[in-house]
């Protein structure tokens, strides 16, 4: 059985060039018979359903201009207002560049959106152009040195970055000249906001997610030639995360995964523009440690949006929140930069793996929608967005992805060296046409559209095959790669593995029962598959002593709107039988607990804390221990929703080694219990329950419960690893 760490043993070959250039999207066209055509069609349909005026509402509101429509709900109306428009600009620009705007509708929308942003920027008067709620207050405070204000709001700089990136793409990919002017002024404004922050305050601010501001500032340096933007990009390098990378130390466990990847892409971009070997090395180390140590077979990583422990993928295999599509989108953008610097086959192999097995399956082509989490837990399912209800980050990157499918297929070094990185039915305009039925087979044929003399490198799996010749127009070059079945085990050394055919993850359908919320509504966390977990009879294992059984398997990218299995336990029938009863009992207890849970916060995790209106003391901190996140502090609080239930209790989970901490559990201002942690449950987690008297629920008109953990002895409350509102 092969392990995922095969990626680290791929031939380290630079194909005879120090650097290459990927062909721009406008130079590549997907063929009508391409496997990816359905996803592109679905994407065009989806973006056309969105109303530009509704996406513009937050920008007009913050600029003091009248709105032309009603704002969208979901993430567009609860603190991240305006982030989707930046993604939308990028999506339109990508699709236009890819030749998917035959009727001109997308181009008209893009030009209109940019013109409206230009109008908003003029109304702001200082270069600002965002839809960040209470932005005037936030930016004034930061300019004055109060960076702490940013932690009271939902990632304002991340929000701004989406607008920056969208404007960049509108200009570079679609040629909207006004987009350049708005972008440059917006970057000047951002430099002005942060220019008086000393390094300490700047680094403190960078503890909150900021997307890839460093990348877009570097891009503006490339656009304008003005060095100040490259210098500004370097100020946005988060030392707490970057410094270990320079030392080749992996300290990513517990970090919010998608917060980090765009930073690494920015690091690679500054390395590229500054010709900085140390930055290239750090960016490559980040990529390598994520891909070889933290990545599952389909190319995703993380659980519940965070990097899990290296020595155990058990939480990933058990959780309903598998790897996030956004994270993989950003990993591919990082891969593109690294490949251009040094065209190693392992970069291309990972790109192919993630493209076919994660990004492509994340698009529902029959009922257009996008996936946030892809659970690896056997017999669970994915949730799809709906256009008028869902404005998640993974919808934003989701609508960007299909227009970028042609981005990595071809590259070149000068006029006489070509690279074919992916077997995808497509045409490199004026140069060659590729015809393939990959991955049904491992064959592809290149037909030259003009005479070509030089070298063509064709990636055949784990290596590039070098072909040098003098081809006439119409002549062909063929290639073939191995598509045998094999198994890739999880990197943690456990007995769970994925069945692969070549680079393609194979899956099995597990029925359609109880897939609650399959097509999401506008609920804040509707992107999570909250339906019950699949029972044992839906889950298969593979006998480690028998030949590999591939009966009933099909490529994962073909499986939609059902429960599925993409990881199997490779064991023996005896071991399965010995623990089946205990496992089913534990699973049954878990299902009962889930049914009783009315609301839940995972302390220390960004999204759950944001959605539960977190407030904290100045000394509050968070961390990661024994596979779970925690928070402690003098006090911290969350708002939970009982969803109409009346007979309730609060359950809190602690680590048994913690001692010497005394704190109150307070619900709606009423103390329920004074807790003293004494370190009496060594080496394990334990959970305590605190009943909520009926009168507590009457304190708030909305029926919600404000839960506060407050130290009573001048020390710390917590650490708390899990908080649940339970129905008895």
Determine the Cα–Cα distance for residues 63 and 57; give it in Å rounded to an integer.
10
Q: Give yes or no: residues 563 and 629 share one domain.
A: no
Q: Give yes or no: residues 585 and 673 share one domain.
A: no
- The per-residue pLDDT for range 12-30, each reduced to its tens digit, is 344 444 689 999 999 999 9
- pLDDT-derived band at 7 (thresholds 50, 70, 90) equals very low
Q: Give yes or no: residues 664 and 712 share one domain.
A: yes
Determine the Cα–Cα distance for residues 291 and 284; give it in Å rounded to an integer.
10
Determine the Cα–Cα distance for residues 227 and 564; give it in Å rounded to an integer.
51
Question: Does residue 342 form part of some domain?
Answer: no
At 578 the pLDDT is: 76
Q: Which residue has the higher pLDDT, 586 or 678?
A: 678
Expressed as residue numbers, the domain containing 256 is 206-294
Question: Does residue 586 form part of some domain?
Answer: yes
Listed in order, strand segments (DSSP E) in 502-586 are 504-509, 541-543, 554-555, 564-565, 568-571
- pLDDT-derived band at 5 (thresholds 50, 70, 90) equals very low
The CATH number for 718's domain is 2.60.120.260
Q: Indicate whether 11 pLDDT > 60.
A: no
**Other C-beta atoms lying within 10 Å of the C-beta of residue 371:** 25
CA distances 134 to 15, 52, 58, 78, Å, are 52, 22, 10, 12
Question: Does residue 374 form part of some domain?
Answer: no
Q: Give yes or no: residues 83 and 183 share one domain.
A: yes
Q: Give yes or no: residues 616 and 555 share one domain.
A: no
Exposed, middle or buried by CB within 10 Å (0-12, 13-18, 19+), for 480?
middle
- pLDDT-derived band at 594 (thresholds 50, 70, 90) equals confident
Q: In what order do the strands lie in the sheet with 648-655?
A: 597-601, 722-727, 648-655, 685-691
Question: Does residue 400 form part of some domain?
Answer: no
Q: Give yes or no: residues 513 and 541 share one domain.
A: yes
- pLDDT-derived band at 452 (thresholds 50, 70, 90) equals very high
Q: Indicate whether 3 pLDDT > 90.
A: no
CA distances 337 to 21, 246, 267, Å, are 9, 18, 10
Q: Give yes or no: residues 626 and 497 share one domain.
A: no
> For the chain, what is the largest distance between any 2 Cα atoms, rounded to a whole number of angstroms?
85
Question: Does residue 353 form part of some domain?
Answer: no
- The per-residue pLDDT for range 460-507, each reduced to its tens digit, is 998 999 999 999 999 999 999 999 999 999 999 999 999 999 999 999
At 663 the pLDDT is: 95
At 390 the pLDDT is: 98
Q: Give yes or no: residues 56 and 69 share one domain.
A: yes
Question: Does residue 249 form part of some domain?
Answer: yes
Q: Give yes or no: residues 78 and 101 share one domain.
A: yes
Percent of the chain with pLDDT over 90: 85
Question: Does residue 411 form part of some domain?
Answer: no
CA distances 554 to 26, 89, 382, 387, 542, Å, are 33, 35, 17, 29, 16
DSSP 690: E
- Residue at which a domain ends, from 553, 568, 597: 597
Listed in order, strand segments (DSSP E) in 533-683 are 541-543, 554-555, 564-565, 568-571, 597-601, 615-616, 621-625, 628-633, 635-640, 648-655, 659-667, 670-678
Q: Give yes or no: residues 128 and 229 share one domain.
A: no
Q: Indicate whether 89 pLDDT > 90.
A: yes
At 4 the pLDDT is: 33
For the segment 563-568, the average pLDDT, to the nearest whole number, is 98
Any long-range contacts for 465-470 (C-beta under 8 Å, 24+ apart)? 466/15, 466/16
Total domain count, the chain: 4
Question: Does residue 593 form part of some domain?
Answer: yes
pTM (predicted TM-score):
0.87
Q: Give yes or no: residues 173 and 54 share one domain.
A: yes
Q: Give yes or no: residues 261 and 169 share one domain.
A: no
Task: Tell me which of 259-268, 329-338, 494-503, 707-716 is least confident.
Answer: 707-716
- Residue 316 host element (H or E): helix 314-318
- Residue at which a domain ends, from 294, 322, 355: 294
- The per-residue pLDDT for range 161-214, each reduced to its tens digit, is 999 999 999 999 999 999 999 999 999 999 999 999 999 999 999 999 999 999
Q: Indicate whether 2 pLDDT > 70.
A: no
- The per-residue pLDDT for range 95-126, each reduced to its tens digit, is 999 999 999 999 999 999 999 999 999 999 99
At 13 the pLDDT is: 45
Which tokens is 310 given? Answer: 């290296």
- pLDDT-derived band at 577 (thresholds 50, 70, 90) equals confident
Q: Indicate whether 50 pLDDT > 60.
A: yes
- The per-residue pLDDT for range 600-636, each reduced to its tens digit, is 999 998 888 988 999 999 889 888 887 788 999 999 9
**Other C-beta atoms lying within 10 Å of the C-beta of residue 442:** 20
At 1 the pLDDT is: 33
Q: How confident is the prediction for the chain on average, in pLDDT?
A: 94
- The per-residue pLDDT for range 668-726, each reduced to its tens digit, is 999 999 999 988 888 889 999 999 999 998 899 999 999 999 999 888 999 999 999 99
Measured between its terminal Cα atoms, the distance across the chain in Å is: 47
For the segment 64-81, the average pLDDT, to the nearest whole number, is 96
For the segment 409-438, the average pLDDT, to the nearest whole number, is 97
**Paired strand residues for 548:** none
- Residue at which a domain ends, from 247, 269, 294: 294
């Amino acid at each position: 059985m092969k392990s995922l760490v095969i990626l680290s043993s791929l031939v380290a070959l630079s194909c005879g060039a120090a650097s290459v250039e990927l062909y721009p999207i406008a130079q590549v066209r997907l063929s009508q018979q391409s496997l990816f055509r359905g996803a592109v069609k679905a994407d065009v349909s989806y973006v056309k359903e969105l109303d530009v005026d509704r996406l513009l509402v937050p920008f007009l509101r913050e600029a003091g201009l009248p709105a032309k429509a009603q704002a969208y709900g979901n993430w567009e109306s609860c603190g991240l207002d305006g982030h989707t428009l930046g993604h939308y600009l990028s999506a339109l620009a990508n699709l236009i560049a890819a030749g998917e705007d035959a009727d001109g509708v997308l181009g008209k929308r893009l030009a209109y959106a940019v013109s409206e942003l230009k109008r908003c920027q003029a109304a702001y008067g200082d270069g600002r152009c965002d839809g960040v709620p209470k932005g005037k207050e936030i930016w004034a405070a930061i300019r004055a040195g109060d960076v702490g204000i940013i932690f009271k709001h939902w990632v304002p700089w991340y929000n701004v970055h989406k607008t920056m990136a969208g404007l960049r793409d509108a200009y570079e990919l679609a040629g909207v000249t006004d987009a350049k002017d708005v972008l440059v002024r917006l970057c000047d404004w951002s430099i002005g906001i942060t220019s008086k922050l000393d390094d300490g305050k700047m680094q403190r601010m960078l503890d909150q997610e900021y997307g890839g501001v460093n990348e877009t500032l570097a891009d503006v340096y490339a656009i304008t030639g003005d060095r100040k933007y490259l210098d500004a990009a370097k100020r946005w390098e988060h030392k707490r995360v970057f410094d270990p990378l320079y030392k080749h130390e992996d300290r990513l466990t517990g970090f919010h995964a998608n917060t980090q990847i765009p930073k690494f892409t920015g690091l690679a971009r500054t390395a590229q523009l500054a010709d900085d070997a140390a930055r290239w090395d750090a960016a490559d180390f980040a990529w390598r440690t994520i891909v070889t140590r933290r990545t599952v077979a389909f190319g995703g990583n993380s659980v519940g949006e965070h990097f899990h422990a290296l020595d155990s993928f058990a939480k990933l295999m058990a959780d309903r929140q598998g790897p996030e599509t956004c994270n993989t989108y950003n990993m591919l953008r990082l891969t593109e930069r690294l490949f251009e610097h040094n065209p190693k086959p392992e970069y291309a192999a990972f790109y192919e793996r993630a493209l076919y097995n994660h990004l492509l399956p994340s698009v529902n082509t029959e009922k257009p929608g996008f996936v946030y989490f892809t659970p690896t837990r056997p017999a669970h399912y994915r949730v799809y967005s709906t256009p008028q209800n869902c404005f998640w980050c993974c919808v934003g990157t989701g609508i960007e992805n299909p227009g970028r499918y042609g981005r990595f297929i071809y590259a070149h070094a000068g006029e006489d060296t070509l690279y074919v990185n992916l077997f995808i039915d497509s045409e490199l305009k004026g140069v060659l046409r590729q015809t393939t039925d990959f991955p049904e087979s491992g064959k592809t044929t290149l037909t030259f559209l003009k005479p070509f003399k030089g070298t063509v490198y064709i990636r055949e799996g784990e290596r590039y095959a070098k072909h040098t010749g003098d081809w006439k127009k119409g002549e062909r070059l063929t290639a073939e790669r191995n598509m045998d079945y094999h198994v890739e085990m999880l990197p943690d050394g456990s007995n769970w593995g994925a069945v692969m055919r070549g680079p393609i993850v194979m899956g099995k359908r597990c029925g359609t029962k109880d897939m609650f919320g399959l097509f999401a509504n506008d609920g804040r966390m509707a992107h999570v598959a909250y339906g019950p977990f699949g029972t044992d009879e839906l889950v298969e294992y593979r006998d480690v002593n028998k030949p590999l059984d591939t009966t009933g398997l099909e490529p994962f990218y073909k499986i939609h709107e059902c429960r599925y299995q993409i990881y199997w336990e490779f064991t023996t029938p005896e071991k399965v039988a010995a623990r089946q009863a205990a496992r089913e009992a534990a699973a049954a207890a878990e299902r009962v607990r889930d049914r009783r849970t009315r609301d839940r916060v995972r302390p220390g995790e960004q999204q759950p804390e944001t959605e539960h209106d977190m407030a904290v003391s100045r000394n509050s901190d968070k961390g990661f221990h024994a596979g779970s996140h925690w928070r402690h502090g003098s006090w911290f609080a969350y708002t939970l929703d009982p969803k109409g239930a009346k007979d309730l209790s609060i359950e809190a989970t602690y680590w048994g080694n913690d001692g010497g901490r005394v704190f109150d559990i307070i619900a709606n201002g009423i103390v329920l219990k004074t807790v003293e942690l004494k370190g009496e449950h060594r080496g394990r987690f334990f959970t305590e329950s605190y009943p909520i008297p009926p009168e507590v629920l009457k304190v708030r008109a909305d029926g919600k419960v404000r839960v506060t953990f407050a130290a009573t002895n001048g020390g710390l409350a917590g650490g708390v690893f899990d908080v649940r509102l339970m129905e008895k």
